[in-house]
Structure 1
């Protein structure tokens, strides 16, 4: 009889090992072997807790009753009723009634499922590989004093069988997660590389535009002034009326030069901040357009817009500048609205108009170039860019995650 019992146990353990083969995740593995294990150790609830490598968290995988232990992962080891086991202070323990056992009920302990599901007798063994505790195997019964030393010995044998498989699954998941993180990093790196290349092209185009403006406008004006002054210098005396046109032209040239400088380096942004710079550009652009448009600007950023790093503030201003210019030139709107809002850890800049919508009256080139410029600027500061229409309005929205260490003092 003893030999028959030993042979039967061996076949059961062999069946468990065979069932584990090919299982690639913890939940599938535990559910696959639950029925076979129940023939060795009857239970109403079984779970495996796996410690995340190098962390203070663990995750539970259950069979039978489903509790908050598996529904709310991951959990801190220090709050686990199995804290002593997971921290390596003991390799196993049994309780006759978990609802009364003080080992499960300490300050901060997450023991609610014990009461919610009426778990009484409980049996726990450590899962160990190379002397390291990687988790715990637990059995629970709704009956008081259900488990004894014989069940403990069987649980330890099952734990020794399961531990290497679960260790391999944990290593595979860790490798998979590392590969995902590495791939995401490569994608971000490539996106930044492309964004930097695109920004370099934009900066070069901007440099050429400034050069052409200076050549065609300012240098042309100065050349005319020089020739006129040269002619005046040949006269024995210069009447004041001859100097007035020259003075007015010089003032206009200075104004044009200021505009070129302002477009290249927005001084209002540097002196007064993002909100004032956007408001100044919005008001001046509508006024200079000669259109009958109204505008509104709401600052709900709680002062965070004034504490952004310089490169971030400039990028947001350029996006707002492009969106406002597009709305004035192409939207046929009669109102433009700008809003800055702070929600949790994100700052959102939104520009909207009540015009004819994206694509209406604009060429494909203008649409693609303007949107791409804004999208690239947003990407380079780690912001999300949205553009579209909703409720009869066209909007551009940039959402920038804000971390405390990224905010300028």
Structure 2
């Protein structure tokens, strides 16, 4: 049987438990339980220090006279007057006069509130959860020599009640802060991505304008010059062997310029769509390479392809274009296949060749591959390059989330 005093203490402990229910903030918990704790341990000032997850900083929450402890941002643990309790160096702190106790006043200690409030008697016990110290409970009085070891024992019982709630609140707050930081980071990244995508669109438009100018002006001028040279070469007084090398060089320049114009302004893509543009690029690039390469376009998602936004279509075409060009230039393949399929609400494009392959895809660094990665990221697609799973050859993949696709109205 409990004696009357023990029954009273037990009721107060139950009261603390009841008051904790439903509290969602550190400060509100301290305010809610302060009066009930005063029946167990008399105090003029009550505070709780909660260590942050990083273990370097802590926050203070007070009841009674307000001090700079709770008004300041998270403070360094190394400057806390009760750092020995927070770090587990001692099991408790008990003093008759904290204003003069050297344990609270050391170089770098933030102990000025002790003097300003005149906190003399003080006791401090750790808040523990599964053996880990997450903070400390502190009771203070304006009187000297008020607390005893019995008060330390009672404070430990109170700390055992408070610690799980504070631990849960700290975890929830940490999760909330992490979610906020992650959301902010995603917002910044999305803002940068959209800005870069707009810049890419502008560069693409400028690229096409340059292609048109080259076609309408420069290529036209070179064509007229070639015709004049042909006419000059047909005249008997002009030696043919003199103009022939110049004419041949001019023809090569015009051929190269046409290729630049074609790549700068993919008119097939604009007029007929992505599948036609890829097919046209395969046929033209392989034909002009002079290599005996067989090519195939396997399109199993024609409806989804037609529903892509223009910036997405251009980005995918550029990636496929670069992958095909790399295979022709470096892969020495016999076959190049471009596949498009829908899988698990994603649209997947693959450029597959059976050439010499690559030794270590993770170590690949080149301007072209970096461009492909950047273009994929700008449209929120994933990019992968690796060896053919059956051995020999390379596979370049770009995977587009279904959410990035636009259904065209009929």
TM-score normalised to structure 1 length? 0.54
Write out per-residue CA displacement over residues 276-322 of structure 1, whole angstroms, 9 at most, x where no aligned residue: xxxxxxxxxxxxxxxxxxxxxxxxxxxxxxxxxxxxxxxxxxxxxxx
Matched, 1:102 2:102: yes
Q: Is the 8 A contact 1:19 1:32 kept in 2?
A: yes
| Structure 1 runs, 4 residues or longer, greater than 6 Å off | 235-238
Q: Could you say which residue in structure 1 is the equivalent of 2:211?
A: 211
Matched, 1:51 2:51: yes
Q: Could you say which residue in structure 1 is the equivalent of 2:315?
A: none
Describe the SS at the equivalent of 1:150. helix
Describe the SS at the equivalent of 2:6. helix
Q: Could you say which residue in structure 1 is the equivalent of 2:74?
A: 74
Q: Is the 8 A contact 1:34 1:63 kept in 2?
A: yes
Q: Could you say which residue in structure 2 is the equivalent of 1:145?
A: 145
Matched, 1:93 2:110: no
Q: Could you say which residue in structure 1 is the equivalent of 2:174?
A: 174
Describe the SS at the equivalent of 1:103. helix
Offset at residue 234 of structure 1 (A): 5.8
Q: Could you say which residue in structure 1 is the equivalent of 2:223?
A: 223
Within a 5 Å distance, the mapping from 1:158-169 to structure 2 comes to 158-169=158-169
- The alignment covers a number of residue pairs equal to 241
- Alpha-carbon distance in structure 1 between the residues aligned to 2:213 and 2:69: 68
Offset at residue 55 of structure 1 (A): 2.5
Offset at residue 233 of structure 1 (A): 5.5
Q: Could you say which residue in structure 1 is the equivalent of 2:5?
A: 5
Q: Could you say which residue in structure 1 is the equivalent of 2:276?
A: none
Within a 5 Å distance, the mapping from 1:10-409 to structure 2 comes to 10-231=10-231
Write out per-residue CA displacement over residues 224-276 of structure 1, whole angstroms, 9 at most, x where no aligned residue: 333444455566789xxxxxxxxxxxxxxxxxx9xxxxxx9xxxxxxxxxxxx
- Alpha-carbon distance in structure 2 between the residues aligned to 1:233 and 1:90: 103
Q: Is the 8 A contact 2:55 2:77 kept in 1?
A: no
- Alpha-carbon distance in structure 1 between the residues aligned to 2:145 and 2:177: 42
Offset at residue 145 of structure 1 (A): 1.5
- Alpha-carbon distance in structure 1 between the residues aligned to 2:119 and 2:105: 13
Describe the SS at the equivalent of 1:33. helix
Describe the SS at the equivalent of 2:126. strand
- Alpha-carbon distance in structure 1 between the residues aligned to 2:177 and 2:126: 25
Q: Is the 8 A contact 1:47 1:60 kept in 2?
A: yes
Write out per-residue CA displacement over residues 53-107 of structure 1, whole angstroms, 9 at most, x where no aligned residue: 1331111011111111111121111111111000001121111111111111111
Q: Is the 8 A contact 1:60 1:73 kept in 2?
A: no
Q: Could you say which residue in structure 2 is the equivalent of 1:307?
A: none
Write out per-residue CA displacement over residues 152-179 of structure 1, whole angstroms, 9 at most, x where no aligned residue: 2221111111111111111111222222
Describe the SS at the equivalent of 1:107. coil
TM-score normalised to structure 2 length? 0.54
Offset at residue 190 of structure 1 (A): 3.6
- Alpha-carbon distance in structure 1 between the residues aligned to 2:103 and 2:233: 103
Write out per-residue CA displacement over residues 335-360 of structure 1, whole angstroms, 9 at most, x where no aligned residue: xxxxxxxxxxxxxxxxxxxxxxxxxx
Write out per-residue CA displacement over residues 348-384 of structure 1, whole angstroms, 9 at most, x where no aligned residue: xxxxxxxxxxxxxxxxxxxxxxxxxxxxxxxx9xxxx
- Alpha-carbon distance in structure 1 between the residues aligned to 2:180 and 2:98: 41
- Alpha-carbon distance in structure 2 between the residues aligned to 1:155 and 1:234: 111
Describe the SS at the equivalent of 2:24. coil
- Alpha-carbon distance in structure 2 between the residues aligned to 1:50 and 1:97: 24
- Alpha-carbon distance in structure 2 between the residues aligned to 1:55 and 1:161: 22
Offset at residue 211 of structure 1 (A): 0.5
- Alpha-carbon distance in structure 2 between the residues aligned to 1:81 and 1:157: 23
Taking only aligned residues, the RMSD between alpha carbons, in angstroms, comes to: 2.5
